[in-house]
Structure 1
Amino acid sequence: MEQLRTEINSRLEELLEPLKNGPVKEAMSYSLLAPGKRLRPLLFLSVLRSYQIDYHIYMDIACAIEMIHTYSLIHDDLPGMDNDDLRRGRPTCHKQFDEATAILAGDALLNLGVNTILNISIDSDLKVKLLNRLYEASGINGMIYGQQQDITFEKQLANLEQLKDIHKHKTGELIAVSMQLGSLIANPSDYQYWTSIGFDLGLAFQIQDDILDVVGNTEQLGKKVGSDQENHKTTYVSLIGIDKSELAIQELFKKCYENIYAMRINHGLILELLSIILKRVN
């Protein structure tokens, strides 16, 4: 996985290089190239590899996914949203630069993600399908809806079903679409399996975040801990406690394993990545 992460980082640098110089490009580079897990592009590439497909052809799609994820983090951290000071162990984009530059950097990364995929030499019909699904997942019916609901429930307590809905859209959509795009390329008949895995993994990932906000530390997480409780935010931990939250994670991973084994793929490649996610501390 480390080799894949290195390849992703190198290609991200190359894609940023031709952009016009200035504070917006600096802010894009600062946020996009910050130390990160690269989970979503790794999921996409791992799906392709599980079908023994040459992933190098599709590396720019992996990079586009990371661009969209990073844009969402920049905007999520803004004073009008979560107003966070720390991201990936460094000052957030608007703290390092300024709010206007951070907004433009997020906008530019979203735009660059589209252009990056448009410039790939693959079948045009497939390209349209991939772009359509990716921007559905990151748009008003997907990730943006999740952010909207997250903001709405800052002013009121959410119940468990409402919290699941927030997590499904805010976190799950981009994790699920990373696997869905791989399926659309490699084997569309397995699409529903990857969809289920993606959303279950996304929910498990967010529950992990809820737990880490309580038991983690700022140095490992790369962001402030205890902010959920400080902001009176509804989380899995606040609703059902740490022990039941951990059980929920185990159940979600069990469902992921069942769907993985239902497909004729190289299971080990996906299981390796899921094992890393299950054991994560940041």
Structure 2
Amino acid sequence: MVESLTKLKARVDDYLAANLPKDIDQDTLAASMTYSTMAGGKRLRPTLTLATVLTLGGQLTADVMRAATALELLHTYSLIHDDLPAMDDDDLRRGQPTNHRKFGAGMATLAGDGLLTLAFQWVSDNHLAAPVRVELTKKLAQAAGPAGMVAGQARDIENTGHRLSLDQLRYLHRQKTGALIHYAVLAGGIITDQPAPVRQLLVQFGDSYGLAFQIYDDLMDVVGTTAEMGKQVGKDAGEQKNTYPGLLGVAGAEDQLHQALASARRTQAELARVTGKSFAAYDDFLAYFKL
């Protein structure tokens, strides 16, 4: 039986709290890395992996937890670096001062570096089968690296103040936000050794979900509040960022969100048909989007 999203999130939180301190050998660095990692957050990426593993008949062993939770370390690194003065220069994240506001830009940069490298330690330093570890490591590097998330960040910086087309905006966010969500769902298929057709459907779901997530985040920067989001809102327009509401208006962005969610639900149904398993666990993730 697949556990609820609440229980899966608690598993991730518990694993991080118990294991993160074991691998850091400098007190201030440990405080900085722990500050951002344990500041809350939805844990959507690792819980997507865990829910997929359970749905496909796998077990949440210590090794699976280690490999899946590595993704939260990498995601947290990306948030710390994204908030830095040289990037978005944000003061608030998850309702708390950003890492560089508390520890300084230098230590925050090192905390991000530490989380990035520790993520690859965790995804490879476990007792999953060697081919599984190799593939997870490769796919995570591709998702996070210069053809994935980092490339998306670069496109975002380079195109600030330059209006992108809808196709260009989708491509930017497929890398910047979607790549790690794509990986999160695929990782569940890799861990449970799924055949290629199932893996393809998993990444289709991840891609649609990742697109919906970014559109929703853009919308909430316009219609949400700082209290709801745990970060400053209304910055995108002021900084001339490329967003869905900026390009299409709020109504147009909402329409794109509904299309992305409809695509995700169609793929969810196809996964159930092809595998003969219930993918109802994905309903909890799709319920995240509330306007």
TM-score, L = length of structure 1: 0.96
Q: May I ask how many residue pairs the two structures share in their alignment?
A: 279
The answer for the alignment partner of 2:80 in structure 1 is 74
Return the letter of the residue paired with 1:253: L
The answer for the alignment partner of 2:56 in structure 1 is 51
Offset at 1:155? 3.6
1:29 counterpart = 2:34 = yes
Question: Deviations 1:187-244 (Å, cap 9, x if unpaired)?
Answer: 1331111111111111111110111001100011000010011112221101111112
Stretches (4+) displaced over 4 A: none
Percent identity over the alignment is: 36
Match 1:85 to one of 83, 91, 96: 91
Gaps of 5+ in 2: none
Return the alpha-carbon distance in structure 2 between the equivalents of residues 135 and 200 of structure 1: 21
Return the alpha-carbon distance in structure 1 between the equivalents of residues 92 and 289 of structure 2: 24
Return the alpha-carbon distance in structure 1 between the equivalents of residues 49 and 195 of structure 2: 14
Contact 1:61 1:117 (C-alpha < 8 Å) held by counterparts: yes
The answer for the alignment partner of 2:140 in structure 1 is 134
Return the alpha-carbon distance in structure 1 between the equivalents of residues 51 and 206 of structure 2: 13
The answer for the alignment partner of 2:177 in structure 1 is 171
Offset at 1:171? 0.1
TM-score, L = length of structure 2: 0.93
Match 2:280 to one of 268, 275, 280: 268
For residue 164 of structure 2, give the secondary structure of its aligned residue in structure 1. coil
Greater mean deviation of Cα atoms: 28-37 or 193-202: 193-202
The answer for the alignment partner of 2:246 in structure 1 is 238
The answer for the alignment partner of 1:153 in structure 2 is 159
Return the alpha-carbon distance in structure 1 between the equivalents of residues 212 and 282 of structure 2: 16
Match 2:168 to one of 151, 162, 168: 162
The answer for the alignment partner of 1:223 in structure 2 is 231
1:259 counterpart = 2:267 = yes
Question: Deviations 1:13-37 (Å, cap 9, x if unpaired)?
Answer: 1221222232111110000011100
Offset at 1:245? 1.0
Contact 2:67 2:124 (C-alpha < 8 Å) held by counterparts: no
Return the alpha-carbon distance in structure 1 between the equivalents of residues 242 and 132 of structure 2: 40
Match 2:150 to one of 106, 129, 144: 144
> Over the residues paired in the alignment, what is the CA RMSD in angstroms?
1.2
Gaps of 5+ in 1: none
